[in-house]
Amino acid sequence: MSLGETIMKPTTMLWRNLVSMDVEETIRANPLDGIVLLTGCDKTTPSTLMGACSVGLPTIVVPGGPMLNGKWRGRDVGSGTLTWQLSEGLKDGSISTADMREAESCMSRSAGHCMTMGTASSVAATVEALGLTLPGASAIPAVDARKRTLAHLSGNRIVEMVREDLRITDVLTRAAFENAIMVNAAIGGSTNVMIHLTAIAGRLAIELPIDDFDRIGSRLPLLANLMPAGQYLMEDFYYAGGLPVIIRELGDRLHADTVSVNGRSIVENSREAVCYNREVVAPIDSPLQKEAGIVVLRGNLCPDGAVIKPSAATPELLKHTGPAVVFTSIEDYHARIDRDDLEIDADSVMVLQGVGPVGYPGMPEVGNMELPAKLVRQGVKDIVRISDGRMSGTAYGAVVLHVAPESAVGGPLALVRNGDLIKLDVPARRLELLVDAEELARRRAAWTPPLPVAERGYVKLFLEHVEQADRGCDFDFLRGSSGATIERGPH
């Protein structure tokens, strides 16, 4: 099944688990000895990996690669990130619809996935950090001739892996997942990596609670100067030396006792890596930011956790208390966000309910809510936003995501009302709804769950079995593996 990130309704995240089931059963049902996963945009990588992990054969990944840098009016522009900037420009009148159309034609000038450090680039880099690609694979542009060479070498290597019986389960150890968390922090990677890595680990019976992402990665420095947290794009990153440079800079922080698909650890593979542009990749002793990894929040508004990406947020908003402006659904948000009579100011906290795994369904990338037109016209660039949804890795802002449990299953987010004070304290890892327990109990007693959005088919299966964001949004019956053996044949 093809997952067209920008065209599928309601969100490709709804179909990630279905693709993983397709991959798992296709591998098991056919006489295959080794697996080459061809990946591209956001969900193709985790979905195929989840399926392959549930079988456990020798497996190698060939990433599709990013697009060439976008070029618009004499400057480099990044897909996705520019989209959000243009949307704000339309609201404040600084650009026209014609400008938007021109920019769109300049933004994606080759085959490939987003060339910012969005979800596709983040997950590709994470897979390289896990050890599932040949060294340097994740940053090669899709149309670069070296991509064909990589594919050829990967084809050679999977045959050798079969002969060596080097399986995906040998590569994906607990130490490999910790390496991937650290690398994702150093590149300013997407918050979506948390959900996908957690789901992949679940297929291998490796415990990877979301607090590990904070404990292991949140205090690591930002080394990659890439949009949306920085200035450059994936093509520049590749020319600067790519992920091996990041791995070398992290050095002994990483676990060297792992094995990658070429039989050596990622640390050994990167020992001789050279950085050719220090504007793009900073040295570990002079980072772009001292602490840039994903932070996990706890509190009465998110008992099972929520996340924020500090490197993409306005620093002044990382400690903030303000009144809630609540949108009960994505439709409610679209209907009211640009109305002049919307009661909201720069101190407000935007809250979006009903966009989690069950509520939407599928947990779409709508958490980075566009700001109201009236605030944009006032020059406001960022306010605190909270939801049980996700956001694109190309986006930015003081955006709290993945609130669990979600509102549609009765999580505390469902109880928030307009005017309630919400306190965000990222340094303290807290997110609190400043409403007393008795009032919350009264609201909970009056709350009724929304009607299911489907009564049949795959979506019904999804609603009944999807786990919450802190568990990776996998199906409860897919945790663990089935192995490669099917005893009975067709005749």
**pLDDT band at residue 250 under the 50/70/90 scheme:** very high
How do 70-72 and 384-387 pair as beta strands? unpaired
Dist. CA 138–CA 122, nearest whole Å = 9
- Cis? peptide before 303, omega within 30° of 0: no
In this prediction, residue 16 carries a pLDDT of 98
Domain ranges for the chain = 12-68+113-269, 70-107, 295-446
Task: Give every strand in the sheet of 384-387, ordered side by side.
Answer: 302-308, 295-299, 430-433, 421-425, 319-327, 349-352, 384-387, 399-400
Which residues on neighbouring strands pair with residue 319, listed in sequence order? 425
In this prediction, residue 105 carries a pLDDT of 86
In this prediction, residue 454 carries a pLDDT of 94
| CATH code of the domain made up of 295-446 | 3.50.30.80
- Structure token digits, residue 115: 């060339």
In this prediction, residue 395 carries a pLDDT of 83
In this prediction, residue 393 carries a pLDDT of 81
Q: pLDDT for 24-73, tens place per residue? A: 999 999 999 999 999 999 999 999 999 999 999 999 999 999 999 999 99
Lowest mean pLDDT among 220-229, 235-244, 387-396: 387-396
In this prediction, residue 259 carries a pLDDT of 98
Average pLDDT, whole number, for the chain?
A: 95
Q: pLDDT for 178-224, tens place per residue? A: 999 999 999 999 999 999 999 999 999 999 999 999 999 999 999 99
Q: Which of 50, 41, 38 is nearest to 12 (CA)?
A: 41
**pLDDT band at residue 170 under the 50/70/90 scheme:** very high
CB atoms within 10 A of CB 421: 13
Per residue, the 3-state secondary structure of 285-329, as one string, reads CCCCECCCCCEEEEECCEEEEEEECHHHCCHHHCEEEEEEEEECC
**pLDDT band at residue 4 under the 50/70/90 scheme:** confident
Neighbour-count burial of 88, counting CB atoms closer than 10 A to its CB (0-12 exposed, 13-18 middle, 19+ buried): middle
Lowest mean pLDDT among 97-106, 120-129, 149-158, 372-381: 97-106
Q: Is the dihedral of CA 47, 51, 54, 58 positive or negative?
A: negative
Of the chain, the end-to-end C-alpha distance in Å amounts to: 28
In this prediction, residue 364 carries a pLDDT of 96
In this prediction, residue 78 carries a pLDDT of 87
Dist. CA 334–CA 106, nearest whole Å = 28
Q: Which of 113, 118, 117 is nearest to 141 (CA)?
A: 113
Instruction: Indicate whether 394 pLDDT > 90.
Output: no
